[in-house]
Structure 1
Amino acid sequence: MRYINANDILPKELVEKLQDFIQGEYIYIPAIKDQHKNWGELSGFRKEIDRRNSEIIQAYNSGNSIQELAESYCLSVYAIRKIIYNK
């Protein structure tokens, strides 16, 4: 999450009204419920992780051992097991 200066995006009148309640502090404005994005959706990292996990499962089903996959993907044996057995 990055911080944005209210003066850069909000009308002056709204900034002044907000200053009646809070000044010089951070405020979190949640997304509208239907518009909330899950972790990694905006950056595309979620898709990248899903693709990697699919590759790991496919490699395991093709005969690669959990230890080999852990070394190949620089993950722990525990992480590889979670990927394989939770899908």
Structure 2
Amino acid sequence: MANEERKDFNKMLHDNKDMPKIQIITDQKSIEKYGGKRMYFAPPLDYDQVMKQVPYGQVVTVGKIREYFAEQAGADFTEPITAGIFVSIAAWSSH
């Protein structure tokens, strides 16, 4: 991310942006790629909470976090772009 020293990552972390929510997608290519129509959007703070549960020295992937959220929400998958952004925000807010 650019200009990290000027950004308030803690504020971003606590901005839920009307999430959590499930959106039904209709793009056939995306449905085939992700395996379903029900796309879940998890708020940034949820990513932070899950990441804090990972024991020191252990690794968890964004993909595994996304799978966990989709399963918990009864969705087919978790939106990948915001997931990557929110993981970065959670990591930066901990500094």
- TM-score, length basis structure 1: 0.29
| Structure ranking higher on relative contact order (CA contacts 8 Å, 6+ apart) | 2
Over alpha carbons, which structure has the higher Rg?
A: 1
Q: Which has the higher strand share?
A: 2
